[in-house]
Amino acid sequence: MSRVESLIARMTLTEKLGQLTMTACGMAVTGPTIAGDSTAAVKSGAIGNLLNLVGPNNVHAMQRLAVKESRLGIPLLIGYDVIHGHRILFPIPLAETACFDPTLWEVSAREAAKEAAADGLAMTFAPMLDVARDPRWGRSAEGPGEDPLVGARIAEAKVRGFQGADLRQADALAACAKHYCAYGCVTAGRDYAPVDISERTLHEVHMVPFAAAVAAGAAAIMPSFTDLNGIPMTANQALLHDWLRGRLGFEGVIISDYNAIAELIRHGIAGDLPEAAALALKAGVDIDMMADAYRYGLPAALERGAVTIADIDQAVRRVLTLKERLGLFEDPFARGRTPESAAALRDRRHLARVIATRSIVMLKNQDDTLPLKSTVRRVALVGPLSDDSSEMRGVWWGAAPPEGHVTVLAGLREALPGAQILHAPGVAIDSADFSGISQGLDHCSAVDAIILCLGEAAIMSGEASSRSYLGLPGSQRRLAEAVFEQARGSATPVIVILFSGRPLVVPWLVEQADAVLAAWFPGSEAGNAIADLITGRASPSGRTPVTWPRAAGQVPIFFSERPSGRPFNATDRFTSKYLDVANEPLFPFGFGLNFGRFEFSNLRLSAASLGIDDAVTVQVDLLNSGAREAQETVFLFTHDKVASVSRPKLELKGFAQITLGPGNKGTVSLSLRASELRFLGMDLAAVFEPGEVDILVGPCADRTQLLVASIHLVAN
């Protein structure tokens, strides 16, 4: 008999339910504590999993209680939200997506896993794979942006990075992909609100990244808090048991979100805790996080006949199997035993700088304002986000302390040792007090350049941080307008560094600034990365992974909408458009400038037709006619011109990057398999239909900038 089966045969009901329970930890003077309980629950086997406990000493102290003092000696599974780094932080996930580089996505996850595992952890509640097309939703900051293909590529990269080659290794974390499914579609962008979308959108968009995570071997999945078309995901048997486990063959652990099982009562589908627990268990949820629904609800559910002991055993089996895969039975103290070297930390810090530099998107660079000229001697640095270490972390900063993250002021002083940096915050991030503006304006006199650091506070993004007004909070617009007005009188260039966890609706800002960098929240090396771009040590290469609206009334907004029977026509009132704003976004998906100037030409295909088993090579030539070396991202889109189901105007099928020196030419090749041109037919089953498909290649999802060729799909 295997270890897992032997344990199940020996376990009491209390011990079984303990393996299905995850409880949060905190810290007291005397050491780690368990929320709402005591360490006696670990010794008795009533709690088998913990979250929010970090530090080798703390983790090992709790682990020792489980393996040395409990009856069966089953080790604890201990997890944490390692979202974009642990103590050394990389850019927030939405920012890192802007790199459009799967290798970097994987490497940052690998480094985060090493650091978190050295802190004693065995699981991360990441990656977050919710496709989001409404920037009002604060959790957009944590995800892959608006496109399902990008979400799938991130899922694959992050699962590989977190889990490594073998989950038993002491530097591996079990990845928990979240939040399954369609959490990014909450009504009105309001967190925790209901989700009501079509089955087509669900399957074509929101399930795609999770299917990729399962295929990549993700150890765990977390359902969302929300209901989907009336059925809360925590109790959605059709999508958890039937689709995830049945159709995709997922054999890992499903972990509820924080208190989500108890919230089934508030959703109105369960009358009490036993009923809620039974619904979640029957749907396939193995671990109850922080609701105590399984510990206290399942015994009554058993008595009522709502669940069976076999149902409980199956969930316990999956949890124990994961602990076995993580090597916890063999050595529960392996993670956190060996401290990381100073060299490893230095290398990680350097990587954080590289990724932060590549994540920043240059939205405007009028008259080559950037990089700053070597003759610059006096710079005014103004704005509430110019010298705040804690804000550079962004949302979900893990175990990173508020101090120690490089600010813009610190980065510029390091990069411009011969220049005088005049600094004033001007205003607070979110305050009506504008009394400091005058000091900021004083600094803007007789300078060579003005750098304005504006945006959201880190806490304005992430969970429970939905915003209906997507402009600059507080008095920041008043500050910016005053600076612009003064700069116009002296012809001083104004460079805006915009910090946010989402696109902000600031067309007026972009219009008046000479240069704009969307910095998102760059992490521990924020100031150095920004200084590298401002001084020209690096060329901007980030590309916005979300469509950037020009007005809040445009959202939800995304590039892959369907064409409509009355597509936009400026001369025809009765077509799809607004009366008061253009249809076009402020910046399309994939937009981003660099210090080069790229020209696309000679789009060509290796074949004129494709059968279902074939593939085509798509090639395009690029010329950097600019004066500096730079990197360009090349996007491959398709459009099925006539199909049984109306297809999106653009569908992303691939992306690649090329770096060229000034005056140099190069060729980018992308492979496209015919199977990738299948779509869900009228019955939501995948179909491959003969006909003509446009192949479109270019720098972003602006159709006017795309080269177009056509290919014929043929039946075999």
| Active-site residue set | 257
Q: What are phi and psi of 209, to 5 degrees?
A: -65, -30
Contacts of 417 (CB under 8 A, 6+ apart): none
Which tokens sit at 417? Answer: 């040792």
Please classify residue 478 by burial: count the beta carbons closer than 10 Å to its beta carbon, then call 0-12 exposed, 13-18 middle and 19+ buried. Answer: middle
Question: Measured on CA atoms in the order 621, 626, 632, 634, is the torsion positive or negative?
Answer: negative
Nearest to 407 by CA among 529, 536, 517: 529
The residues facing 73 across adjacent strands are: none
Residue 503 CA: distances (Å) to CA of 360, 391, 455, 527, 583: 13, 17, 10, 20, 17
Which tokens sit at 665? Answer: 């030419």
Which tokens sit at 484? Answer: 């612009």
Nearest to 591 by CA among 559, 627, 625, 629: 559
Which tokens sit at 109? Answer: 């996850």
Question: Measured on CA atoms in the order 183, 184, 189, 191, is the torsion positive or negative?
Answer: positive
Query: What single string gives the DSSP state of each residue in 23-64?
Result: EEEEEETTEEEETTS-THHHHTTS--EEES--SHHHHHHHHH
Q: Angle at CA 415, nearest 5°, toward 545 and 515?
A: 45
Question: Measured on CA atoms in the order 74, 75, 77, 78, is the torsion positive or negative?
Answer: positive
Which tokens sit at 327? Answer: 């090597």
**If you ran DSSP here, which 8-state letter would residue 128 be given?**
B
Contacts by residues 292-298 (CB-CB < 8 Å, ≥ 24 positions apart): 292/21, 292/23, 292/36, 292/262, 293/261, 293/262, 294/17, 294/20, 294/21, 294/261, 295/17, 295/18, 295/21, 295/46, 297/261, 297/272, 297/273, 298/17, 298/20, 298/274
Alpha carbon distance 391, 473 (integer Å) = 15
Nearest to 445 by CA among 401, 492, 406, 513: 492
CA 475 to chain centre: 29
If one counts every other C-beta atom within 10 angstroms of the C-beta of residue 218, the result is: 25
| 3-class DSSP state of 75 | coil
Alpha carbon distance 442, 573 (integer Å) = 50
Q: What are phi and psi of 118, to 5 degrees?
A: -65, -20
Alpha carbon distance 124, 102 (integer Å) = 19
CA 73 to chain centre: 37
Query: What single string gives the DSSP state of each residue in 292-350?
Result: -HHHHHHHHHHHHTSS-HHHHHHHHHHHHHHHHHTTTTT-TT-TTSSPPPHHHHHHHHH
Residue entry with tokens 């040590």: 537
Residue entry with tokens 């392996």: 334
At 249, which amino acid appears?
A: G
Alpha carbon distance 465, 136 (integer Å) = 9
Query: What single string gives the DSSP state of each residue in 636-666?
Result: EEEEESS-SSPPPS-EEEEEEEEEE-TT-EE
Contacts of 633 (CB under 8 A, 6+ apart): 100, 541, 543, 590, 592, 655, 656, 657, 699
Alpha carbon distance 381, 378 (integer Å) = 10
